[in-house]
A = this chain, B = another copy of it.
Amino acid sequence: MDKVNLAAKFALFADYWHPRIVGELNGQQVKLVKFQGEFIWHTHDAEDELFLVARGRFRMDLRDCPIWVEEGEFLIVPRGVEHRPVAESEVHLLLFEPATTVNTGDQAGERTVEQPERL
Contacts and interface: CB of A to CB of B under 8 A. Distances in A.
Interface of A: 1, 3-7, 23-26, 28, 30, 47-50, 62, 67, 69-70, 72-78, 81, 96-98
B74 A3 contact: yes
Contacts of A73: 3-6
A95 to B, nearest CB: 11
Nearest to A4: B74
For this chain, the copies found in one complex come to 2
Contacts of A7: 72
A34 B22 CA distance: 24
A26 B48 contact: yes
A28 B96 contact: yes
